[in-house]
Amino acid sequence: MSSELRITDTNSANDSKGRALGFEGNDFLYVVGGIVGAIGVFLLLYGMFHASLAAATCVAVPIFALPTAWVILFRRGKADGYAEDFFDYLLNREGFSFAPDNQSPLGAAKKRKARHA
């Protein structure tokens, strides 16, 4: 009998963040928070301030829809930091500058030729 410690690969609980309501990790909290917030605002507007049903609904729906859309579009099934990278790409794109002549030499040369032609 061998006295060596045998190491095997397992599916450890540390490898998984868990699942709830079909969402990985704590992503379900955004959705639940949106539901609770939307119901709270709806009841506040409709019940206490006597707003119309349509007005209260129109105010409450985005409170639920925005966090849910955030989770579905930017968190569910995506790598960590996906949302930050996505918005960084949209806002900063490679070579962004308010002075187009200060961009890369290749791009600036093409623009100068186009102006003189």
CA distance 34 to 20: 15
Among the listed residues 64, 60, 74, the one whose alpha carbon sits nearest the alpha carbon of residue 23: 74
- Split into its structural domains, the chain has a count of 2
Confidence tier at 116 by pLDDT (50, 70, 90): low
Task: Let me know whether 89 and 62 are in one domain.
Answer: no
Q: Residue 3 domain-assigned?
A: no
Section 43-58 average pLDDT: 97
Q: Rounded mean pLDDT of 30-52?
A: 97
Residue 84 and residue 70 share a domain = no
Please give the residue range of the domain that contains residue 49.
Answer: 18-78
Q: For residues 29 and 55, state if they share a domain.
A: yes
For residues 85 and 51, membership in a common domain is answered with: no
The answer, yes or no, to whether residue 98 has pLDDT greater than 70, is no
Give the whole-number percent of the chain exceeding pLDDT 90. Answer: 42
- Separation of alpha carbons 38 and 31, rounded Å: 10
95 & 69 share domain: no
Contacts of 55 (CB under 8 A, 6+ apart): 45
Residues 50 and 73 in one domain: yes
C-alpha to C-alpha distance for 38 and 65, rounded to whole angstroms: 9
